Each structure stands twice: as structure tokens, then as C-alpha cells.
Amino acid sequence: MESRSIRQLEDGIERDVAGLNYGSYLDLDTLLSAQRPLSDHHDEMLFIIQHQTTELWLKLIIHELRAAMSFIAADDLGPALKCLARIKHIQTQITNQWSVLATLTPAEYAQFRGSLGKSSGFQSAQYRLLEFLLGNKNKAMVAVFAHDLETQAELEAALNAPSLYDEFIRYLDRAGYAVPAELVERDWSAPYAENPELTKVFLQIYRDPDAHWAVYETCEELVDVEDTFQTWRFRHLKTVERIIGHKTGTGGSSGVGFLQRALDLTFFPELYAVRTEI
């Protein structure tokens, strides 16, 4: 039998990789040493990596979302749409991750759940920041991070600043649309309330998309972002239900019930209300 030849390295491949290289550039020593299970159960590694990778993706979503908001504030919708499109793909990625965690059975999770103590995804500062940036403002949540003053200050700043939707509404006002004045300047820390007059603005846009194409396209990108975010929330709920049923969450929440109520929240209410009017 003829033996297979060993594939030779190409002449141009770097062999001396001291200094900056793949591992040092990505700081893999730090990244890959951050998985420290507190039990000896095999599946705790899955649980840790699932949540750590989600936090990395959340970091990128926040990065893209802040860029989109800056572009909209500068009346530059084109680059903002690129950021929003990327966000949708990231959201799809973290939604698909739930199918990996769903391989964890109730019996397996029960063997290391006690090691988590009071830790819970409810305490994710990045998730809370993302909610604030998208417009789900809740002053009471800031107090949860009193143990971390730097994080708390960042959340306070986002709480008291315009959200993505606020920035878009302000753009519409600058572009000459009949946006209600009370939406252009308001208490940004207060939860957004649906305004029928804004629905009329969107109805004008949706009845003649060609005449308002850039704004129309932005509206649909925002709906896509909310839709994929809600899909992520739903998969989270169903994965939790599959693994722990209706037990109380490790952080003290009602678990599935708490996640179910989150599905009733909407970031861009008029963009859904206008669909009934068309």
C-alpha cells in the first residue's frame, strides 16, 4: 500500500512567531484560562462557555449599537444600517447557541447548580446595558450593580441618555417629519410610551416607501433587530423551561415566569402598531 506523503509547510509560512502572534494578539492565555468550574461535574464546562461566549457577543452587539446610534445622531443612515444588519446576524448566532445548552439535561444540571450560588444571567451588566440602549429603561435595575461603581455609572449614563429609538425619532424630527414635540425632548430615563401621533408618521412612510426609502429601510431594520432579539428571549425561556422547569431562578427570580413577561415588552411600539393601520 502506498504511504501518504506528509504535507510540507510552504516556504513562506512564518516559523519564528516570537512576539506578536495569533495567541498573543487574541490574548488566548487569558481567554482560555477563564473557564474555572466550581464542581467536578463534566457539564459545568459547557455551562460556563455558553455564558462566556454570549457575553462576548453581547459586547460586540453593544459596540455596533452605539456606533449605529452615533451615525443616526449625525444624520448618516447608511453606516447605521450596516451596523444594524451586523447586529441581526450576531443575535442569530447567540440564539442558535441555546441549542447547545439544551443538551444539558435536568439531572445533569442539578448536580452542579448549587455551585452557582446567587449568580444569575439577571445580573449581566452587559445585558442590562443592551436593554437600556434599545429603550427598555428601568431605574430600579441600576441598584443591582451597587457593588460595581464603574458599571453602575455606565448604566446610569445609558439610563439618562436617548435610546436607539429615541435617536431615530429625533432624526425624523430633524428630517421634517411631524414628530410630536414631547418625543424629541423628554426624560430619557423614563420608559418609552407608545404615541398614536408617531404611528401616523410611520403610516405616511409605509404608504409610500419609495418616497421615504432610507427611513423606510431603517424602520424595517429596527423591526428586524427587535424580532431577532425576541427570538433570542424565546429560545432562552424554552431552554430554561427544558432544563429546570418552573423552579425559582438562582438569582431569586420566578424563572420561566419572569422570562415569559419579558416577551411582552417591545422597544419600537409604533413600528408594530403601524402594521395594523396599513
pLDDT single digits (tens) 2-32: 556 777 778 777 777 788 999 999 999 999 9
Is the predicted pLDDT of residue 125 greater than 90, yes or no?
Answer: yes
- What stretch of H or E contains 23? helix 22-25
41 is in an annotated binding site: no
Residue 204 marked as a ligand binder: no
| 42 annotated ligand binder | no
Confidence tier at 265 by pLDDT (50, 70, 90): confident
Model confidence pTM above 0.85: yes
Which helix (H) or strand (E) element contains residue 96? helix 77-101
Q: Which residue bears the cell 429603550?
A: 135
**Is residue 228 annotated as involved in ligand binding?**
no
Tell me whether residue 47 is annotated as binding. Answer: yes
**What is the three-class DSSP state of 148?**
coil
Q: Going from the N-terminus, what domains does the chain have, and what CATH number goes with each?
A: 43-109+122-177+193-276 (1.20.58.480)
50 assigned to a ligand binding site:
yes
Average pLDDT (100-107) is 95
Q: Is 212 labelled as part of a ligand binding site?
A: no
Identify the pLDDT of residue 119: 86
> 176-226: per-residue pLDDT in tens?
999 999 999 999 999 999 999 999 999 999 999 999 999 999 999 999 999
Res 43: pLDDT? 96
236 is in an annotated binding site: yes
What pLDDT does 3 receive? 57
Query: How far is it, in rounded angstroms, from Cα 58 to Cα 68?
Result: 15
Q: Using one digit for the tens of pLDDT, what is the confidence trace for 35-55?
A: 999 999 999 999 999 999 999
Q: How many CA atoms lie within 13 A of 210 on its CB side?
A: 0
| Residue 253 in this model has a pLDDT that exceeds 80 | no
169 is in an annotated binding site: no
Tell me the average pLDDT across 158-173.
98
